[in-house]
Amino acid sequence: MTRSAGFSARFRLPLPISGPLHGGGALARSVFGLLNQFVPIPSSDWEESRMGKLDGKVVIVTGGGGGVARGMTIALAKEGADLSIVELRADRGDEAAREVEKQGGRVVSIACDVSRRDQVDAAVAETLDHLGRVDVLVNNATGVSLATSNLAFMDHGEADFDHILGVDLMGSFHFMQACFPHFKNQGGGKVINFSSGAGTERLAGYVAYASAKEAVRALTGVAAREWGRWGINVNAVCPAAMTVGMKSFVENHPDPDFEKKAYGDRPIARLGDPEQDIGRVVAFLASAESDYLTGQTFWVDGGGSIHA
């Protein structure tokens, strides 16, 4: 593991989410318990099912120290990938890297503010220095926090937009531009951008976050059209709320009925698992199995957006 000492330490709460994760108090916690009691996360022996579909591939994951991303990086490592974990907080990145190391692959932890193009360029260069190449980019970093959650349209300020757009949209844009020459020169690559149902559902109280995540989908589609000629696939993932990292949002959200309203009527009525549910989809999109897919959005939400 390495750490770039010159990178900014500007604090950003790196919440392990990519969608509207909210709820409140005992009621929401009881809803979680009921959902997972009646529709449990399927058990499986990952070691028996691993295919090694990413053997020899180098994957950059931004926001890689968060809960959802941590499960995702473990899933990628189990498929044979070497990981570059990019995280604003170096301690979180290093902790995630130690977990990935247990899978036997190579890993580098890089501190980086994704809204800063100079730091993004340095992070890609450091990945190349330590891992030799880059095959897959997963743009997962988000700037959403409790401070900008459930905030009325008229209460959003320019600073809220600047921060979330800087991390979610411009962070993805910066990394895509920085990785593109390497993908082009080696004859292909994969980009997986994280969007959110907050955008597709036009979720009230999240105008900055929803706007940024819908812009990420537009970014995905335009790049897919332009880059397909070079064998570069660009897709987006819209995940539902995950099990990891939910408690603080649940316990602090002002609407005690939000989780019941948002997740109680899903066809698959349980919260998702970062490794098994999100990780496997990302591993598929990172692999050769998805070579004929580009410009698409994949909703991984237990059927919550069947109507979308």
Rounded Cα distance, 46 and 39, in Å: 20
- Sole residue written with tokens 């698409």: 296
Based on the residue annotation, tell me whether 209 is a catalytic residue of this protein. yes
**Residues 263, 147, 12, 171, CA torsion sign:** positive
Instruction: At 57, list the tokens.
Output: 């591939």
Identify the CA nearest to 193 among candidates 146, 227, 243: 227
The set of residues, in sequence order, having a beta carbon less than 8 Å from that of 115 and lying 6+ positions away, is 143, 163, 166, 167, 170, 171, 174
- DSSP-derived letter for residue 246 is -
- For residues 251 and 25, is the Cβ–Cβ distance under 8 A? yes
**Mapping DSSP to helix (H, G, I), strand (E, B) and coil, where does residue 115 land?**
coil
Question: What is the Cα Rg of the chain in Å?
Answer: 18
Rounded Cα distance, 177 and 137, in Å: 11
Q: Which one of the listed residues 206, 209, 263, 292 is annotated catalytic?
A: 209
Which secondary structure element, helix H or strand E, spans residue 99, and what is its range? helix 90-101
**Residues 122, 228, 280, 299, CA torsion sign:** positive
**CA dist list (Å): 113 to 9, 27, 68, 170, 197:** 8, 36, 19, 11, 24
Identify the CA nearest to 66 among candidates 142, 137, 4, 136: 142
Just list the catalytic residues.
209
